[in-house]
Copies of this chain bind each other. A is one copy, B any other.
């Protein structure tokens, strides 16, 4: 197939008719397919079912420090869980707090505390500043943006590149504006592009001069063990690097087992400098007596160490990699060389970032929906739901079966080409 732009008006008209017919056929099929969220497939959840065999009424539920896990206490987590996450995130056990079931909650609560009480070493609560701002490398994760929007934090879009945010932009902004207090980062297999932060980006982020002396990097290491290729990518250790530059309090690191064991019944963790940890614990002690310690032990018994975790993640990859491959193959086959789409082919994580011609994404997502295929809302990958070029669509291929995914992709490709042809004809 040639680039659509090379086609004559008549050829385009004829292609439009074919595509419209095809689209109407899909509509007739009454499809109900969903590629909107990064949800593991049921087969992935089956991988962790043996975790439910670990405890029964005869189990002794004591931590290695002797505390009865069934009772109150353990504000910052059981020692075993701290060791596990410290190993996973390559930090010291003193730099870790074990949370509840959700790293999103830890991020929300961290911002909530910063707004109301300020951060460790900060001069004042962020709410007492003039309207504060965060940098939002985009396309990015809608739930990050939603937290900021919820607290009235202004989001400034910076360009997301293959190796992280455009650091020239970032440095220029934070150097001048003391109201810029933070940046959102998904350093490995970024949502949605799969970008991997380079060593240089990690160094510049942790070393750059910031006008705000209480600037924080929100380092959402959501996909740190979620590899899709044999190459198990390592991103430079942000906490260590920040320490080396004398900015140890700058990074807040978040992770969880949501896409490792059971989303909703996993364990989340927060890693940061000891000063940040002490500050967080001071506030947390007002909010809770402790998170679910039995579930913490269940997880560390299931994964004895990071080696067994890696083996487990390979099983996840075996289930979802064929889905990613199906997306790439379908896109290449149906959209390749037509000059109407480009997409990322990430080495891990949960998403593919797809760009269609400017001004078409909203219409394409709507058309797909009307044919029974639900995608992440167009614009969701940008702050305030507004993609300035209206071209980015996030593809979440993990949840549907391969068969469902194949159909959903056929519908999507038809919608993309149809809209592109319409655009060329208009």
Residues of B within 8 A of A108 (CB): 286-288
Listed by A's residue number, 19 A-B pairs whose Cβ atoms lie within 8 Å are A42-B71, A45-B71, A49-B57, A49-B59, A52-B55, A52-B56, A53-B57, A70-B264, A71-B263, A72-B258, A72-B263, A74-B264, A100-B291, A102-B289, A115-B116, A146-B286, A264-B290, A265-B295, A292-B295
A265 touches B287 (CB 8 A): no
- Flag whether A328 is at the interface (Cβ < 8 A): no
Residue on B with the closest CB to A50?
Answer: B57
User: In the complex, what distance in Å separates the CA atom of A42 from the CA atom of B69?
Assistant: 11
**Is the interface on chain A under 10, 10 to 19, 20 to 34, or 35 or more residues?**
35 or more
Q: A151-B116, A286-B108 are in contact. Are A40 and B262 (CB under 8 A)?
A: no
Chain A 33-56, CB-CB to B under 8 Å as 1, else 0, gives 000010110100100111011011
Interface residues of A in 268-313 (CB under 8 A from B): 283, 286-295
The 8 closest A-B pairs by CB, nearest first: A49-B57, A45-B70, A72-B263, A108-B287, A265-B294, A150-B286, A70-B262, A52-B55
Interface residues of A in 50-105 (CB under 8 A from B): 50, 52-53, 55-59, 68-74, 100-102, 104-105
Q: A50-B57, A112-B112 are in contact. Are A264 and B287 (CB under 8 A)?
A: no
A39 touches B116 (CB 8 A): no
Residues of B within 8 A of A68 (CB): 42, 45
User: In the complex, what distance in Å separates the CA atom of A102 from the CA atom of B166?
Assistant: 42
Q: Which residue in B37, B50, B56, B293 is a CB contact (below 8 Å) of A265?
A: B293
User: In the complex, what distance in Å separates the CA atom of A150 from the CA atom of B284?
Assistant: 11
Q: Which residue in B52, B71, B143 is a CB contact (below 8 Å) of A39?
A: B71
A264 touches B293 (CB 8 A): yes
Residue on B with the closest CB to A297?
Answer: B265
Q: Which residue in B53, B73, B74, B264 is a CB contact (below 8 Å) of A289?
A: B264
A264 touches B294 (CB 8 A): yes
- Flag whether A127 is at the interface (Cβ < 8 A): yes
Q: Which residue in B59, B264, B288 is a CB contact (below 8 Å) of A292?
A: B264
Residues of B within 8 A of A55 (CB): 52
User: In the complex, what distance in Å separates the CA atom of A88 from the CA atom of B402?
Assistant: 44
- Flag whether A390 is at the interface (Cβ < 8 A): no
Question: Which of A58, A59, A68, A147 neighbours the largest number of chain B CB atoms within 10 Å of its CB?
Answer: A68
